[in-house]
């Protein structure tokens, strides 16, 4: 597939000379270029695999609201999307958005200054969800659920106001794995963060282009790029979160058996409903032995022998 500059996507990724101005002060080392290339490749892979860019872009370019929290993940997300767009591999309009939630001590100037220096279209939305969360959540309880719901509601509203068809989030491979185990251990269901979904109202897509990227790679990339990281003092200060427990569990498995996270993530892309126990996903009632020997029925599509 040719990009807007007439080269294939693979060629555009292999050639890292130049690039978007966001890379002006980036390292030129071989190790950094390999890291950058890997993240770009995996991001483009997710965008293509999950159909994140619609086919009718010639009629009207898609417009994405890229959510920027000030953490390593969202900075990396924006940087890679800007890179892909600069190379002609992402035919969409990007609007960066930060939701200032009114947390005490939040450095309001950091993100606007950073985005203005890069000449990136952006919107800073000021909504005091911090006071609501602190008031509503009982002591010793975690803020994450309510904070997330309030934040998502405002981002959906901004996306609609700005004519965006998709809200773009910076969740990575580990976020997806942690969510899977949280849902399994605490919710009794097999589900994770999908890379692409339609919101409940049915008018906005929620997409995660970094779904295939490892958190360790993103951390290394962010450190090398020297992003002006803004820590989350609201939930980051709480100990004993269930997600932290899942993270520690996964890190322990990875340390004991390197590559285990890759295997677990690959399993999420290789589900076999006939080998699980959910009759809503597979019609076990219709699975019958042949009435007469020698007359074997056709195998259902997901009933390979175990």
pLDDT tens per residue across span 71-112: 999 999 999 999 999 999 999 999 999 988 777 778 889 999
Mean pLDDT rounded to a whole number for the chain? 86
Percent of the chain with pLDDT over 90: 65
**Farthest CA pair distance, the chain:** 77
Position 166 scores a pLDDT of: 97
Question: Pick the residue with more confidence: 265 or 21?
Answer: 265
pLDDT tier, 201 (very low <50, low <70, confident <90, very high otherwise): very high
Find out if CATH 1.10.3720.10 is the number for domain 9-243.
no
Position 1 scores a pLDDT of: 39
Position 31 scores a pLDDT of: 96
Domain spans in the chain, listed from the N-terminal domain onward? 9-243
Distance CA 253, CA 260 (A): 7
Position 14 scores a pLDDT of: 55
Position 239 scores a pLDDT of: 44
Distance CA 242, CA 113 (A): 35
* Residue 306 reports pLDDT greater than 60: no
Position 65 scores a pLDDT of: 97
Position 295 scores a pLDDT of: 60
Percent of the chain with pLDDT over 70: 81
pLDDT tier, 280 (very low <50, low <70, confident <90, very high otherwise): very high
Question: Pick the residue with more confidence: 118 or 103?
Answer: 118
Position 6 scores a pLDDT of: 46
Rg, Å, the chain Cα set? 22
Nearest Cα to 262, choosing from 177, 163, 140, 149? 177
Give me the sheet containing 92-100, strands edge to edge.
122-126, 92-100, 62-67, 166-168, 205-207, 196-198
Question: Pick the residue with more confidence: 136 or 290?
Answer: 290
Own/partner contacts of 272-278, CB < 8 Å, gap of 24 or more, are 272/302, 272/304, 273/302, 274/300, 274/302, 274/303, 274/304, 275/302, 275/306, 276/190
* Residue 226 reports pLDDT greater than 90: yes
* pLDDT tens figures, 44-72: 999 999 999 987 655 678 999 999 999 99
Position 101 scores a pLDDT of: 77
pLDDT tier, 149 (very low <50, low <70, confident <90, very high otherwise): confident
pLDDT tier, 32 (very low <50, low <70, confident <90, very high otherwise): very high
Position 2 scores a pLDDT of: 38
């Amino acid at each position: 597939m040719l990009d807007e500059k007439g080269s294939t996507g693979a060629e555009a990724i292999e050639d890292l000379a130049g690039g978007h101005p966001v890379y002006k002060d980036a390292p030129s080392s071989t190790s950094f270029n390999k890291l950058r290339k890997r993240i770009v490749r995996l991001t483009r892979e997710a965008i293509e695999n999950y159909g994140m860019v619609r086919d009718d872009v010639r009629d009207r370019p898609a417009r994405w609201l890229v959510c920027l929290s000030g953490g390593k993940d969202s900075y990396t997300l924006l940087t890679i999307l800007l890179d892909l767009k600069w190379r002609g591999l992402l035919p969409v309009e990007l609007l960066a958005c930060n939701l200032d939630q009114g947390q005490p001590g939040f450095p309001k100037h950091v993100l606007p200054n950073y985005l203005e220096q890069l000449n990136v279209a952006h919107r800073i939305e000021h909504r005091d969800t911090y006071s609501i969360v602190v008031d509503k959540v009982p002591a010793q309880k975690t803020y994450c659920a309510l904070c997330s719901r309030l934040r998502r509601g405002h981002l959906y509203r901004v996306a609609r106001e700005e004519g965006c068809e998709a809200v773009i989030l910076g969740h990575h491979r580990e976020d997806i794995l942690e969510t899977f185990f949280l849902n399994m251990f605490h919710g009794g269901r097999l589900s994770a963060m999908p890379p692409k979904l339609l919101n409940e109202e049915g008018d906005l897509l929620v997409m995660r282009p970094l779904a295939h990227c490892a958190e360790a790679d993103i951390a290394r990339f962010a450190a090398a790029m020297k992003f002006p990281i803004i820590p989350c003092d609201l939930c980051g200060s709480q100990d004993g979160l269930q997600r932290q427990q899942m993270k520690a569990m996964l890190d322990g498995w990875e340390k004991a058996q390197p590559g285990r996270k890759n295997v677990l993530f690959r399993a999420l892309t290789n589900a076999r409903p006939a080998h699980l126990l959910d009759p809503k996903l597979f019609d076990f009632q219709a699975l019958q032995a042949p009435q007469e020997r020698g007359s074997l029925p056709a195998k259902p599509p997901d009933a390979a022998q175990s």
